[in-house]
Amino acid sequence: MAHPHNAGADDDYDYTEQVGHLLRKVYQRHAAIFQQHVGDSQLTAVQFITLCALRDRGPSAQNDLVRYTAVDQATIRGVVGRLRDRGLVSLGQDRVDKRKVIVMLTEEGQQLINGTTGNARHITELTYGPLNPAERIALDFLLRKMLDEPDHT
């Protein structure tokens, strides 16, 4: 029986079967696997991808890091602050626009990335779990296809 507050609600709607809920659960599983296997208990998945983005793209403005990592502005600010506190990144001013803060990977940050990349590959394997090679390709394809869809908000 429907709860009185939900009069007229779709009784067949099961939130546990919705794509957003399933994606969130898979991400939570991935985050737990990451923390268990990354080899640095202080490093989060978001911090790791931020360091990887800096390694791959070089010194970057925080706005660019938002775009590269798909992490919102408020979160990236906190991530950069924690990475700076650990000596993994340093901050400087843009030569053209002095108001822009540029984030740079330090030698310590580069060493951490070098030491954890193998673990990251293993984490990816564990995240895929029981999926066979064809299912892994299909999953990657479908996730990218969903990302390519224009935003309908």
CATH number at residue 52: 1.10.10.10
Domain assignment of residue 14, yes or no: no
19-51 burial: b if 16+ Cβ within 10 Å, else e: eeeeeeeeeeebeebbeeebeeeebebbbbbbb
The mean per-residue pLDDT over the stretch 146-150 comes to 83
State the Cα–Cα distance between residues 34 and 46, nearest whole angstrom: 10
Per residue in 3-41, pLDDT tens?
556 655 667 899 999 999 999 999 999 999 999 999 999
Domain assignment of residue 29, yes or no: no
Name the pTM for this structure: 0.83
**Residue 76: both structure tokens together:** 């990236």
The alpha carbon of residue 66 and the mean position of all alpha carbons in its chain are separated, in whole angstroms, by: 11
Range of the domain at 101: 38-116
pLDDT for 55 beyond 60: yes
State the Cα–Cα distance between residues 113 and 53, nearest whole angstrom: 11
Domain assignment of residue 150, yes or no: no
Please report the beta strands in 20-96, taking only residues with DSSP state E, as ranges in sequence order.
60-61, 89-93
pLDDT for 125 beyond 80: yes
Domain assignment of residue 99, yes or no: yes
Residue 94 is predicted with a pLDDT of: 85
Domain assignment of residue 25, yes or no: no
Domain assignment of residue 15, yes or no: no
Domain assignment of residue 33, yes or no: no
Domain assignment of residue 106, yes or no: yes
Per residue in 78-123, pLDDT tens?
999 999 999 999 999 988 888 899 999 999 999 999 999 999 999 9
Question: How many structural domains does the chain have?
Answer: 1
pLDDT for 152 beyond 70: no
